[in-house]
Structure 1
């Protein structure tokens, strides 16, 4: 067995579509159209969906929320209390070419304890964005558990 390489799970386009469908369904329930971005574990865009009425200025925000969640392996909401002046992560938003976002709505997608991608939602309040993103993550993780049982 080689120790020079490692096999890791990869988020597929079907997985990305599952996340988008669930996030879109939740956004319709709450009446807030979303921009929904899915990236892989390496922060590359896998899929993007802009619902009718979603803010055009939120397109890059959704993508960057997913980028941050996948790249830092943590929900973007964890930075809320750390980014204020004097906080331990103050000015972190300047990193990665300004793409590092500290606004809730970006959540990693996990499989067997490994980040396989992330979802970013944007247009509503941070709580609404996080709510929709959570539904997307839950749908993918549920589908992975069902497939593992087959």
Structure 2
């Protein structure tokens, strides 16, 4: 009887050890990093940084759009280095969104692209973008300001949803051509 029990236990152990759940599986394939483009992406040359008067024009357009839609926003304009040039927190805008708007603008200026692209990368499973810069803000609402084909700064908005932030900032960025 003992030998029968031993044989049953041994057979059960073999069955368990050979099950697919315990078998080694290869690691999942790494997501594509986008391939190797022929041209450098986002290769916008730097121009002379935006000045206060031009930043005020960008701010006025963004703020007018936010008021038109009755959205309370924090709006930041930064220079080519991502340093703050002009900031406005509309009456009743969320206090926590002040630094976020500056971060979105800084991200757009330093990386020469809309901050939404980092959000899209995270959504696609490319979490490595968070390792690029500790100040990077991966959220819609940061737009580079490009004048005459050169980057002069960026605008960032925060206080609504990401799409609301982006809608307001887009209007501000269109002041600069």
TM-score, length of structure 2 as denominator length: 0.70
Q: Deviations over 1:93-145 (max 9, x none)?
A: 35433x2011100000001211110000000111110011011111233xxxx
Compare the two structures and name the one with the higher helix fraction.
1
Match of 2:79 among 34, 40, 63: 40
Shift of 1:86: 3.4
Match of 1:16 among 46, 55, 59: 55
Separation in structure 1 between the aligned mates of residue 66 and residue 76 of structure 2, nearest angstrom: 14
Separation in structure 2 between the aligned mates of residue 101 and residue 39 of structure 1, nearest angstrom: 14
Match of 1:117 among 144, 149, 153: 153
Shift of 1:8: 3.5
RMSD between superposed Cα atoms in Å: 1.6
Match of 2:122 among 83, 89, 95: 83
Match of 2:176 among 116, 129, 140: 140
Structure 1 consecutive aligned stretches of length 4 or more whose deviation exceeds 3 Å:
none
Extract unaligned runs of 5+ from structure 2: 1-45
Match of 1:51 among 65, 76, 90: 90
Shift of 1:85: 7.0
TM-score, length of structure 1 as denominator length: 0.82
- The number of equivalent residue pairs is 132
- Report 1 or 2 for greater relative contact order, CA contacts < 8 Å, sequence distance ≥ 6: 1
Q: Deviations over 1:32-53 (max 9, x none)?
A: 1110000001111101011011
Separation in structure 1 between the aligned mates of residue 133 and residue 63 of structure 2, nearest angstrom: 28
